[in-house]
Amino acid sequence: MTGLQGRHFLSTLDFSVDEVTGLVDLALDLKRSRRSAALERMVSVLLFFNPSVRTRVSCEAAMVRYGGSAITIQPGKDTWNFEAGEGVVMDGNTQEHVRELAPVLSRMANFIGIRKCELITVGNDKATVTGSYPELARDFFMHRLAEFSEVPVINLESNRFHPMQGLADMATMRERFPEPRGTKYVLTWAWHPKSLPVATPHSQLLSAADLGMDVTVLRPEGWSLEPAVLAAARARAESRGGSVRETDDIAAAYRGAKVVCAKAWGSLDYYGRFDEEVRRKQPLRADWIVDEAKMARTDDAIFMHCLPVRRNVVVADGVLDSRRGVVVDEAENRVWTAAAVFAALGGRVR
């Protein structure tokens, strides 16, 4: 993994397709070999502005299984409130500037992970966003953290991307389709009581694109993903002999699919007007669940989801619990892909 040491991991779009697939190969190697001292005495500081199960446990487990250690921090609860603006007179509610936070953590740790996404909430709590989607999609705080960090910063889910999930999805597909090029992959929108982030579907789209798959993004009108991300995915897919298309034709999309990946996400058109979105999407609920009937139209497709998943809302029990449901394997691969990222960025693999 030459060329990765010391770099930030904020989006797979900052890496070539070869570098991304190289990380996936490394993850599958680590999965086979398991024990090693690849991260011996290394420390990750993980900043979780939002709750987490898989991301936190997979990163901590990756560190400790390979001899390292993780320190998880919940900013604003365990710590000060952080500031990222330039030239700010800090006489308000923020106490510590990222210009200090980033280099200080860099001296204490080998990696800084950060989850900071405005739409992640517990239970049915509604999110209140602080800006428009284009503003939030800049992921300003995370990029400032990376700007001032002396060690690799790793995106554990921002407003725009969730690249660690993307790598795990790639590893999961690679395990089942050693040559995924040209295989039909469907990323389907699902109804959900809340408006969830686009970060995960963006990174899932990119994961299939980087594998050169034939990607169908299936979503209702009004729930398109970000055009720039779609364009980037298309270019990367085509460079590998694949393709990316969008549709709202459910029946056609499922036909011949080898992979169905479901994800609920909020509309960029209604961003911040979540009550309005809830009303608009109500009629879609019945049609968009992934159920046995839809899966029967596929070419014996596997079913993927990043988890947590709301059962019988996003996907029927009968699909999730069938032999085609691979969500647990997909979650497990979060550990090995996280280990690969740490080892590669930390310069511990050649």
128 binds a second copy (CB under 8 A): no
Cβ at position 296, least distance to a second copy in Å: 21
Cβ at position 66, least distance to a second copy in Å: 8
Nearer to a second copy by Cβ, of 103 and 131: the residue is 103
286 binds a second copy (CB under 8 A): no
Could you tell me how many residues of this chain bind a second copy (CB under 8 A)? Answer: 70
What residues from 148 to 177 belong to the interface with a second copy (CB under 8 A)?
none
87 binds a second copy (CB under 8 A): yes
Q: Exposure string (b/e) for 219-253, b if CB count within 10 Å is 16 or more?
A: bbeebbbbeebbebbbebbeebebbbebebebeeb
- The DSSP secondary-structure symbol of 41 reads T
Cβ at position 83, least distance to a second copy in Å: 8
Nearer to a second copy by Cβ, of 42 and 244: the residue is 42
CA distance 17 to 23: 10
Using CB under 8 A, pick the residue from 127, 261, 264, 331 that binds a second copy. Answer: 331
Pattern 43-72, binding to a second copy, x per CB under 8 A? x-x--x--xxxx-xxx-xx--xx-xxx-x-
312 binds a second copy (CB under 8 A): yes
Query: Are 302 and 261 a contacting pair, CB within 8 Å?
Result: no
123 binds a second copy (CB under 8 A): yes
280 binds a second copy (CB under 8 A): no
Cβ at position 68, least distance to a second copy in Å: 8
* Dihedral sign, Cα of residue 268, residue 75, residue 327, residue 8: positive
7 binds a second copy (CB under 8 A): no
> Do strands 184-189 and 214-218 pair parallel, antiparallel, or not at all (unpaired)?
parallel
108 binds a second copy (CB under 8 A): yes
Cβ at position 88, least distance to a second copy in Å: 6
Nearer to a second copy by Cβ, of 31 and 255: the residue is 31
Which of these, 294, 331, 330, lies nearest to 315 by C-alpha position? 294
For residue 283, whether the previous peptide bond is cis, meaning omega lies within 30 degrees of 0, is no
CA distance 323 to 330: 14
292 binds a second copy (CB under 8 A): no
The one-letter amino acid at 31 = K
Which of these, 130, 111, 110, 109, lies nearest to 119 by C-alpha position? 130
Using CB under 8 A, pick the residue from 32, 107, 323, 350 that binds a second copy. Answer: 107
What residue spans of the chain are helical by DSSP H? 17-33, 54-65, 98-108, 133-136, 140-148, 163-176, 199-210, 227-239, 250-254, 274-281, 285-288, 292-296, 317-320, 327-345
Please give the distance of CA 36 from its chain centroid, rounded to a whole number: 26
Structure tokens at 294: 């839809």
147 binds a second copy (CB under 8 A): no
Using CB under 8 A, pick the residue from 2, 18, 90, 276 that binds a second copy. Answer: 90
261 binds a second copy (CB under 8 A): no
Residues 6+ apart with CB under 8 A from 161: 10, 11, 12, 13, 139, 155, 199, 202, 203
Footprint of a second copy (CB under 8 A): 35, 41, 43, 45, 48, 51-54, 56-58, 60-61, 64-65, 67-69, 71, 73-74, 76-81, 83, 87-97, 99-101, 103-105, 107-109, 122-124, 193, 307-313, 317, 320-321, 327-329, 331-332, 334-335
